[in-house]
């Protein structure tokens, strides 16, 4: 089962984490890197990792005795701006993702794992870019998809992701919530023995019977009733300030969150290094590390590798 790892922004920690992961034998034996040979080679030399590298032009040319790099030839050593915002790096990072998506759609790879992109850098060439999840979904022609963050301690999925709070509130619609509940249930079939799903409310105290907003009664509660009527083990809406504690204690297997930070904050607080990003609802399998480019520590050899290790393992499991 061939897995691809996109290199991420060359100004950040992506290249060194891949090299470190290989050196520590944490990565699958059958993987390739989609990126630039020049960047990986520069990082390898600079940090004196002495990892064997192989440049390949076709995914099937990989061999398990080295880090095989499907070289797109977008960057040269002179283009590398360590720890700095770079238009060239942002552009290249997105192209790695697009190439991985094309290979997955063509079934030339079983799944792919994305290393971090710096959104600000990528928007210098793609002003409308909001994030991996939305961009890959667009490439796949899918609208019914969602972001899941998964760790051993907590699993959350999202009604909306990279939008303003105003737009996030507007996105809280019954049909959308039902779809995310179903996507979450289907993923849990592969991840957990049980599929008990809790739905967090949008407003404080889940609206407290309309005292703090009408969305929970008008949109969220009907979605829970609808999904439960289809045989899913789903409950809510619950006050957001307590439901994550109940999930961590084992009462629920996943929590449906109404917007980006409602799910990201508890997951990253509980397990920042172990959180994995999964895009549900696509015809392909993509997972991602759940950390950023970390420009401040780039090319210092100190970035943790656990998230990449776990993202690769989850990609294999779900694929």
Grade residue 207 by pLDDT with cuts at 50, 70 and 90: low
Give the CA radius of gyration of the chain: 20
pLDDT at 64: 86
- On average, the pLDDT of the chain sits at 94
Q: Where are the domains of the chain?
A: 1-142+284-319, 145-281
The region, left, alpha or beta by phi > 0 then psi within -120 to 50, assigned to residue 276 is beta
pLDDT at 89: 96
pTM of the model: 0.89
Mean pLDDT calculated for residue range 222-244: 97
Domains 1-142+284-319 and 145-281 share a fold: yes
Mean pLDDT calculated for residue range 268-275: 87
pLDDT at 250: 95
pLDDT at 251: 97
Q: 21-25, 192-196, 288-292: which has the minimum mean pLDDT?
A: 288-292
Grade residue 290 by pLDDT with cuts at 50, 70 and 90: confident
- Residue in 24, 13, 5 with CA at minimum distance from that of residue 302: 13
pLDDT at 301: 93
Grade residue 34 by pLDDT with cuts at 50, 70 and 90: very high
**pLDDT, tens only, 40-58:** 999 999 999 999 999 999 9
pLDDT at 303: 93
Domain spanning 1-142+284-319: CATH 3.40.718.10: yes
pLDDT at 15: 97
Give CATH superfamily name and number for 145-281. Answer: Isopropylmalate Dehydrogenase (3.40.718.10)
Grade residue 272 by pLDDT with cuts at 50, 70 and 90: confident
C-alpha 319/C-alpha 311 separation (Å) is 12
Mean pLDDT calculated for residue range 147-168: 94
Grade residue 97 by pLDDT with cuts at 50, 70 and 90: very high
Grade residue 29 by pLDDT with cuts at 50, 70 and 90: confident
C-alpha 297/C-alpha 53 separation (Å) is 23
Question: Coil, helix or strand for 201?
Answer: coil
C-alpha 25/C-alpha 226 separation (Å) is 46
Grade residue 162 by pLDDT with cuts at 50, 70 and 90: confident
Grade residue 61 by pLDDT with cuts at 50, 70 and 90: confident
Long-range (24+ apart) CB contacts under 8 A made by 38-45 are: 38/75, 38/76, 38/77, 38/79, 38/80, 39/7, 39/10, 39/15, 39/75, 39/77, 39/80, 40/7, 40/15, 40/67, 40/69, 42/77, 42/80, 43/15, 43/16, 43/19, 43/299, 44/19
């Amino acid at each position: 089962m061939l897995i691809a790892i996109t290199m991420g922004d060359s100004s950040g920690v992506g290249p060194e984490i891949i090299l470190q992961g290989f050196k520590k034998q944490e990565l699958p034996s059958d993987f390739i890197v989609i990126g630039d040979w020049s960047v990986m080679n520069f990082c390898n030399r600079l940090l004196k990792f002495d990892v064997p590298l192989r440049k390949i032009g076709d995914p099937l040319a990989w061999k398990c005795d080295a880090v095989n790099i499907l070289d797109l030839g977008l960057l040269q050593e002179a283009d590398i701006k360590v720890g700095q915002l770079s238009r060239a790096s942002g552009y290249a990072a997105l192209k790695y993702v697009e190439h991985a998506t094309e290979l997955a759609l063509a079934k030339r790879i079983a799944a792919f794992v994305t290393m971090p992109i710096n959104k600000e850098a990528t928007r210098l060439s793609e002003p409308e870019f909001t994030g991996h999840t939305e961009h890959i979904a667009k490439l796949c022609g899918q609208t019914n998809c969602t972001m899941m963050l998964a760790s051993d301690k907590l699993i959350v999925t999202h009604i909306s992701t990279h939008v303003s709070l105003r737009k996030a509130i507007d996105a809280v619609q019954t049909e959308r919530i039902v779809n995310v509940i179903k996507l979450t249930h289907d993923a849990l079939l592969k991840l957990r023995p049980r599929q008990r799903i809790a739905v967090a409310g949008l407003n404080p105290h889940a609206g407290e019977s309309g005292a703090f907003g009408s969305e929970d009664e008008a949109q969220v509660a009907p979605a829970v009733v609808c999904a439960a009527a289809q045989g899913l083990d789903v409950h809510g809406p619950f006050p957001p300030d307590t439901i994550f504690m109940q999930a961590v204690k084992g009462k629920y297997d996943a929590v449906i969150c109404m917007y980006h930070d409602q799910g990201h904050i508890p997951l990253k607080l509980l397990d920042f290094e172990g959180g994995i990003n999964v895009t549900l609802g696509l015809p392909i399998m993509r997972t991602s590390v759940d950390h950023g480019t970390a420009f401040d520590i780039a090319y210092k050899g100190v970035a943790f590798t656990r998230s990449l290790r776990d993202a690769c393992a989850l990609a294999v499991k779900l694929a």
